[in-house]
């Protein structure tokens, strides 16, 4: 229990204090934190590798791409039996057949004659990955109409089932093909080489 002593306004003489702030060397805005003041108008930051990076990243492009590659190489190979298309995990590219992939690998290496090293390089740097067809979504009338019906209008279970069944039957009968999509599954460059008819060094004759 504390007793509060009276302090009269007239007696409460304030002391003038100066608060330390760090002013940005570029725009002059004052920050309480020295690091924030440095960061304020800085356009680049040091990276742990000794390089420079944009202030919005902790690591430089080079370190980030090395990191990305290490993560990619640590993935297990997906089973792949030579089916196309194959994709590039970093980007929207598809390679639709052997010739397409052969050409892309040769272009990347700026060479006319494809070697296993070029294929392996291409697979790693472009993150050559498996593709699958995602099944088409099923029609659901409740989702389709949910934002458009008044609150008091409840569809009966019977209506929902009847409409969903009918629309999905029509869609199925149309046999629309599903689009291909990349999945994060790495393909063994040796399997790619086999599909392209390129010999893998050290594997002649097979084991
Ligand atoms: Zn500033
Ligand atoms: Zn770096």
Using CA atoms, how far apart are residues 87 and 78, in angstroms rounded to an integer? 13
Instruction: Give the CB-side neighbour count of residue 174, counting CA atoms within 13 A.
Output: 10
Using CA atoms, how far apart are residues 197 and 50, in angstroms rounded to an integer? 43
Question: What pLDDT is stored for residue 63 in this prediction?
Answer: 92
Question: What pLDDT is stored for residue 204 in this prediction?
Answer: 58
The answer on pLDDT for 32 being more than 80 is yes
Using CA atoms, how far apart are residues 48 and 59, in angstroms rounded to an integer? 7
If one compares 169 and 135, the residue with the highest pLDDT of the two is 169
Q: Provide the whole-model pTM.
A: 0.65
Cα of 124 vs centre of ligand 2, distance in Å, is: 20
Question: What pLDDT is stored for residue 46 in this prediction?
Answer: 95
Residue 70 in tokens: 């290490």
Q: What is the pLDDT of residues 51-109, one digit of tens each?
A: 999 988 889 999 998 899 999 999 999 999 999 999 999 888 999 999 999 999 999 99
The per-residue pLDDT of the chain, averaged, comes to 92
Question: What pLDDT is stored for residue 152 in this prediction?
Answer: 86
The answer on pLDDT for 206 being more than 60 is no
Cα of 57 vs centre of ligand 2, distance in Å, is: 10
The answer on pLDDT for 184 being more than 60 is yes
Cα of 71 vs centre of ligand 1, distance in Å, is: 36
Which residue, 129, 127, 116, is CA-closest to 71?
127
Per the omega criterion (within 30 degrees of 0), is the bond before 152 cis? Answer: no
Residue range 120-146: mean pLDDT, rounded: 94
Cα of 61 vs centre of ligand 2, distance in Å, is: 7
Cα of 100 vs centre of ligand 1, distance in Å, is: 50
Cα of 49 vs centre of ligand 2, distance in Å, is: 4
Please name every residue paired with 77 in a beta bridge, in sequence order, or none if there are none.
Answer: 186
Evaluated on CA atoms 197, 203, 205, 207, the torsion sign reads negative
Cα of 66 vs centre of ligand 2, distance in Å, is: 9
Cα of 59 vs centre of ligand 1, distance in Å, is: 22
Cα of 201 vs centre of ligand 1, distance in Å, is: 57
The answer on pLDDT for 2 being more than 70 is no
**DSSP assignment string, 163-204:** HHHHHHHHHHHHTPPPPEEEEEEEPPHHHHHHHTT-PPTT-T
Q: Which residues are within 8 A (CB) of 69 and not within 5 positions of it... i.e. 6 or more apart?
A: 124, 125
In this structure, the number of other CB atoms found within 10 A of the CB of residue 53 comes to 19
Q: What is the pLDDT of residues 151-173, one digit of tens each?
A: 888 899 999 999 999 999 999 99
Question: What pLDDT is stored for residue 90 in this prediction?
Answer: 83
């Amino acid at each position: 229990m504390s007793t509060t002593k009276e302090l009269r306004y007239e007696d409460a003489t304030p002391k003038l204090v100066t608060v330390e702030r760090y002013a940005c060397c570029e725009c002059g805005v004052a920050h309480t934190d020295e690091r924030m003041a440095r960061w304020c108008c800085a356009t680049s930051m040091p990276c742990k590798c000794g390089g420079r990076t944009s202030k919005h990243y902790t690591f430089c492009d080079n370190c980030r791409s090395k990191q990305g590659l290490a993560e990619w190489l640590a993935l297990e190979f997906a089973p792949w039996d030579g089916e196309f298309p194959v994709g590039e995990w970093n980007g929207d590219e598809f390679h639709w057949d052997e010739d397409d992939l052969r050409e892309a690998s040769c272009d990347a290496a700026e060479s006319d004659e494809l070697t296993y090293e070029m294929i392996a390089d291409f697979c790693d740097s472009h993150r050559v990955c498996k593709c699958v067809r995602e099944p088409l979504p099923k029609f659901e009338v409740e989702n389709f109409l949910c934002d458009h019906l008044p609150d008091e209008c409840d569809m009966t279970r019977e209506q929902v089932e009847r409409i969903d069944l009918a629309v999905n039957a029509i869609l199925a009968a149309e046999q629309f093909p599903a689009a291909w999509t990349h999945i994060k599954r790495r393909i063994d460059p040796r399997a790619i080489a086999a599909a392209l008819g390129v010999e893998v060094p050290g594997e002649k004759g097979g084991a």
